Structure 1
Amino acid sequence: MPMEDPGSSPGHSAVGGAGQEGPAVRLEGVSRVYGKGPGAVHALREVSVAFGRGGFTAVMGPSGSGKSTFLHCAAGLDRPTSGRVLLAGADIGRLGENALTVLRRERIGFVFQAFNLLPSLTVEQNITLPLRLSRRRTDREWLARVLERTGLGERTRHRPSELSGGQQQRVAIARALITRPEVVFADEPTGALDSTTGAEILGLLGESVRALGQTVVMVTHDPVAAAHADLVLFLADGRLVDTLPAPTADTVAERMARLGKR
């Protein structure tokens, strides 16, 4: 359930797991404007929201609502025009490019529609690549746990070309989890998969929340995908306009239809 901050407006809420100290990610009055003058595009307008630890949140909205910009700003891939983004309390807007790159690599996990695996590396090498890039030793116990949860224990020596699309996405999820990030951002993670495989991947993301205590924020256009989350946030015209706890595909579709009539 969403938890309103004391004295907050409807657009400023904390979502996700309760009972933890501090949110994993917080956006405070975040706006993003592209261009200047009359032709400027206001992709985000004063969005304030916090994602509690150990929660699975979906972000939805009509085309042009600001979903991608929201994810890019929250994940440190783009800088807000105004407002702040805090990761575990640290203002990422104050970081230089090198420090921000390190933060994204070590404290944020990414899962995209394109699997982005290196074809010359094995499954295990793809998964542990972020650790090698940051010159960190692999925690073999944690790796074994991630491999078990993602069902890749028998595939560690395979290369991406030897895997199905669903298995490749599992590798991408394992890679996102290996650094024990503060949060995993997923951008249309099932867009390239059939419905059955997509459901398996969404179940895996939910399992990472329940079994590993992970925080997942997923952007999607699909009501069926959003129904796997604990809570859905709805964007329209760059603003956070609605939330839906305990979503079903039907209730998500109904809210989206309502937004489409705005």
Structure 2
Amino acid sequence: MRLRSNRRQKTDDRPEAPAATPGLAVELRGVRRRYGRGVGAVHALAGVDLALPRGTFTAVMGPSGSGKSTFLQCAAGLDRPSEGSVRLGGTEITGMSEDKLTELRRSRLGFVFQAFNLLPSLTVEQNVLLPMRLAGQRQDRRRAAAMLARVGLADKARRRPGELSGGQQQRVAVARALVTSPDVVFADEPTGALDTGTATEVLGLLRHAVDTLGATVVMVTHDPAAAAWADRVLFLADGTFAGGLERGSAEQIGARMTMLAGRTGAMAGAAA
């Protein structure tokens, strides 16, 4: 996708970011992330360009060490790229102060992690309301109740996370991620700790959020069956995107991953 140039007077020495493209929830341009310096530097991301429209479900896959976690951290403002531009909901976040980034993450982003990350001392309802509380917003208990009803846990509001199954805890995490109607929900291996049946329930909730609430979901996963729920699957290899697949089946996605892993392994062997 080509971006129009929008020249503005720069106020610092950072390179000027490209203009935002309307209708995009996530936009990365020339994103690189290096760890270390000199010959020992590790290039976790080696020039990523990505544009994801609002209201879409995107899965990101890749072999171990391909840069999936670094991609998610840079895209979500949890880590700063060494070069390039990141926009979320049209807002340039690359040069934001840490305080501004924290505020943006609390108010405009949702997160679902493999380990659930619920606070054990809070009730289910309080966990769902936590993003509103941290963002300094009014804690809307009716909104929390509506989200819990959507994930099938309307009767669990007063329970503690430790009283719930793993699948129920992840459903609480999904409700928490959606309660502020965020620009983007970032999901990091959200089904990695769940059995197949429970994983299907959680993925169905994310799919439903996209289809009925207009949510935007970006999910990193190693599981082809999970990725098959997405509108589009993107494959990372050696810090860059190596193609994609629209509405692929688990078998098609698995075959593509096997091919990509074999190619990556062959390249690593040749470089050794």
TM-score, scaled relative to structure 1: 0.91
CA displacement at 1:124 relative to structure 2: 0.4
Q: Runs of 5+ in structure 2 lacking a partner?
A: 5-20, 264-272
> 1:142, 1:244 → 2: CA distance?
36
Partner of 2:149: 148
Q: Write out aligned runs for 1:15-34 (5 A).
A: 21-34=22-35
Residue 232 in structure 1 maps to residue 233 in structure 2: yes
Cα deviation 1:120-177 (Å, max 9, x = unaligned): 1111000001111222113344333312211111111111111110000011111111
Question: Would the alpha carbon gap of residues 161 and 93 (structure 1) be closer, same or farther in structure 2, given more than 3 Å must change?
Answer: same
Partner of 1:117: 118
Residue 195 in structure 1 maps to residue 193 in structure 2: no
AA partner of residue 125 (structure 2): E
CA displacement at 1:260 relative to structure 2: 1.4
Partner of 1:14: none
> 1:255, 1:133 → 2: CA distance?
41
Partner of 2:71: 70
Q: Secondary structure at the match of 2:94?
A: helix
Q: Secondary structure at the match of 1:94?
A: coil
Cα deviation 1:84-109 (Å, max 9, x = unaligned): 10012211012101111111111111
Q: How many residues align?
A: 247
Choose 1 or 2 for highest CA Rg: 2
> 1:21, 1:165 → 2: CA distance?
38
Residue 159 in structure 1 maps to residue 160 in structure 2: yes
Residue 83 in structure 1 maps to residue 84 in structure 2: yes
> 1:168, 1:141 → 2: CA distance?
20
CA displacement at 1:207 relative to structure 2: 0.7
AA partner of residue 73 (structure 1): C
CA displacement at 1:21 relative to structure 2: 4.3
> 1:7, 1:110 → 2: CA distance?
28
Partner of 2:218: 217
> 1:99, 1:177 → 2: CA distance?
21
Cα deviation 1:180-217 (Å, max 9, x = unaligned): 11000000001111111111111111111111110000
> 2:167, 2:262 → 1: CA distance?
35
User: What CA RMSD, in Å, does the superposition of the two structures yield over aligned residues?
Assistant: 1.5
Q: Secondary structure at the match of 2:235?
A: strand
Q: Secondary structure at the match of 1:111?
A: strand
Partner of 1:208: 209
AA partner of residue 95 (structure 1): M
Q: Runs of 5+ in structure 1 lacking a partner?
A: 9-19
> 2:105, 2:159 → 1: CA distance?
27
> 2:166, 2:240 → 1: CA distance?
34
Residue 129 in structure 1 maps to residue 143 in structure 2: no
Q: Secondary structure at the match of 1:24?
A: strand
Question: Would the alpha carbon gap of residues 162 and 105 (structure 1) be closer, same or farther in structure 2, given more than 3 Å must change?
Answer: same
In the TM superposition, structure 1's runs of 4+ consecutive aligned residues that sit over 4 Å from their partners are: none
AA partner of residue 132 (structure 1): R
> 1:180, 1:210 → 2: CA distance?
14
